[in-house]
């Protein structure tokens, strides 16, 4: 398993994915000067574009869906130029940049968010990128500061556990996962992360037990793949 794959498994995915909830319809530009209304409109358009997705009934439809999604992303980027202090707009651009594989672009937006407010999702994604870039010490310091400010956030605790582990402190990582579990983190995910730590630490039998427990808790757990690999 590659370093990026391991980090992506341990570091918790943000709760930022936009659900597909409506069918796409031709959209007229909203010229409202209220940035929150403008932002909500952009999110609705992005959801619609994602819900439509590529079709199988002809190239023209695929091109139309692609072009619409690209236009929405351009409008979202332009929104942040117009409203550079709008935190939700910055976060949405950061998420889209990360999804597109532009980690540096995402970091630029995330750093702007964190310079303005304490933001758990921004801290988690910024720490995750730092881990993927091989800088666990930066991730550890960043996430530790945010844990001090929001100690009851389970997602933040899980991300901090990843940073601690890759910074060379697996025992502290396990304690953070214990705390995350007490705070309500899903049992299957905590078990999976514990399994990753055990596997990386050479405790293969323990890793198998933890992966099996994770799969028993949720059939969708990626622990099934790790279990087969072992």
pLDDT of residue 64 exceeding 80, the answer is no
pLDDT reported for residue 218: 94
- Residues whose CB falls within 8 Å of the CB of residue 65, separated by 6 or more in sequence, listed in order: 24, 49, 52, 53, 54, 55
Q: pLDDT tens digits for 108-127?
A: 999 999 999 999 999 999 99
Q: What's the whole-number average pLDDT of the chain?
A: 83
Distance CA 219, CA 216 (A): 6
Q: pLDDT tens digits for 191-220?
A: 999 999 999 999 999 999 999 999 999 999
Q: pLDDT tens digits for 132-177?
A: 999 999 999 999 999 999 999 999 999 999 999 999 999 999 999 9
pLDDT of residue 60 exceeding 50, the answer is no
Distance CA 18, CA 15 (A): 9
Distance CA 73, CA 83 (A): 15
Distance CA 43, CA 79 (A): 12
Q: How many CB atoms lie within 10 A of CB 36?
A: 12
pLDDT of residue 57 exceeding 80, the answer is no
Distance CA 106, CA 125 (A): 9
Structural domains in the chain, sorted by start: 3-169 (1.25.40.10), 186-230 (no CATH)
∠ CA 23-25-29, nearest 5°, is 130
Distance CA 63, CA 87 (A): 32
């Amino acid at each position: 398993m590659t370093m990026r794959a391991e980090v992506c498994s341990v570091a918790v995915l943000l709760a930022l994915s936009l659900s597909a909830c409506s069918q796409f319809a031709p959209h007229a530009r909203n010229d409202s000067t209220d940035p929150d209304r403008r932002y909500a409109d952009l999110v609705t358009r992005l959801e619609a574009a994602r819900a439509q997705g590529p079709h199988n009934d002809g190239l023209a439809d695929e091109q139309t869906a692609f072009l619409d999604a690209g236009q929405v992303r351009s409008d979202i980027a332009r929104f942040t130029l117009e409203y550079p202090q709008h935190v939700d707009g910055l976060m949405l651009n950061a998420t889209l940049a990360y999804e597109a594989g532009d980690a540096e672009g995402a970091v630029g937006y995330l750093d702007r968010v964190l310079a303005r407010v304490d933001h758990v999702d921004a801290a988690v994604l910024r720490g995750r990128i730092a881990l993927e870039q091989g800088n666990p010490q930066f991730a550890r310091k960043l996430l530790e500061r945010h844990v001090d400010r929001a100690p009851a956030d389970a997602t933040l605790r899980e991300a901090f556990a990843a940073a601690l582990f890759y910074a060379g402190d697996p025992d502290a990582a396990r304690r953070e996962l214990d705390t995350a579990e007490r705070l309500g983190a899903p049992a299957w995910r905590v078990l999976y992360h514990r399994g990753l730590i055990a596997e990386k630490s050479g405790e293969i039998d323990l890793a198998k037990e933890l992966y099996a427990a994770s799969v028993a808790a949720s059939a969708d757990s990626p622990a099934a793949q790790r279990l087969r690999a072992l």
